[in-house]
Amino acid sequence: MKLGFWHKMTVTIPAALEERGSALLVALGAQGVWVEEAGEQVHLNVFFPESVSVADAEGLIQGAFVALLPEKLEIRSERLPEEEWQTAWQTHSIPIQQIGEKLVIVPPWEKNRLIASNRKVIVLSPGMAFGTGTHATTHNCLVMLEKAVLKVGEGRLLDVGTGSGILAIAAAKLGVRHITATEIDPVALAVAQENAKANRVVSKMIFRASIPAHSRYNCLLANLTSSVLLELSERLTQAVLPGGTLVLSGMLKGAHEAVLARFQTACTLIQLKEKDNWVSLFMQKK
């Protein structure tokens, strides 16, 4: 059978927008996504079939990103044979990652190799490869989540800005039974639900577009940006029970200082973790 060609499109956006940007590309029909970090930016590499022209693909991408980034995107394109595309997305999209002491993230084709693993296995498909643990902010959150779960046990957990659902899925795998995951982007929310189903933890989760007004939680996860954390600081701290824990991430080094100061009015810092110039905070509600 004769194999065709595919267009590889590389979209460059701020690193803080990685998850939402990747969700938009998946919704447009991109066949495989992988992320390359570039300092404060990320390159989102995606594929479209040759039947879609480069001009049409670029137009779709620019149009979809208008609400997320008003300025025009930087997009590069190249034409690849299908066999190179197939190798590329399997090689780059989701590497096997052992994170912390208990978690491992794998693509579906590697799942059977880890059946006997003593780690909790999280399976993510390449077409949904945003929030896969490769970015420093997600990695930090997963490491801190293990400690947070030890403190809250089987209590109630809120994941704000769930993206791919990776943090909520990890919490469920680690033993949390009651999880609420919120996401304002309907595309990302739908992907998070599918990922939860694929990992057989959807029964432990409630998915919402907004933070519940009156519910209180033993643990809160918020992998957002420093500006959004500051904007939501009062709502986030109010959502946590006294003695509960917060994992806050998505802040560049330096920008985290204002976030730390704001949250310290209601919380105590337990740990500050820095990776690749990104900072995450593990805090406890007073």
> How confident is the model at residue 138, as a pLDDT?
85
> How confident is the model at residue 203, as a pLDDT?
93
From the first residue on, what is the mean pLDDT of each consecutive set of 10 residues in the chain (286 residues)? 66 82 73 71 80 85 86 85 58 67 77 70 61 70 89 85 90 93 84 88 93 94 92 96 95 93 97 90 96
> How confident is the model at residue 24, as a pLDDT?
78
> How confident is the model at residue 31, as a pLDDT?
55
> How confident is the model at residue 15, as a pLDDT?
82
> How confident is the model at residue 181, as a pLDDT?
96
> How confident is the model at residue 156, as a pLDDT?
94
User: Which is it for strands 278-285 and 74-81: parallel, antiparallel or unpaired?
Assistant: unpaired
> How confident is the model at residue 3, as a pLDDT?
47
Specify the domain boundaries for CATH 3.40.50.150 within the chain.
148-285
pTM of the model: 0.69
> How confident is the model at residue 87, as a pLDDT?
57
Specify the domain boundaries for CATH 3.30.70.120 within the chain.
5-92
CATH class of 148-285: alpha beta
Given CATH 3.30.70.120, say whether it is the number of domain 5-92. Answer: yes
> How confident is the model at residue 187, as a pLDDT?
73
Between 186-198 and 18-27, two packed helices, what is the crossing angle to 10 degrees? 90
> How confident is the model at residue 38, as a pLDDT?
79
> How confident is the model at residue 230, as a pLDDT?
96
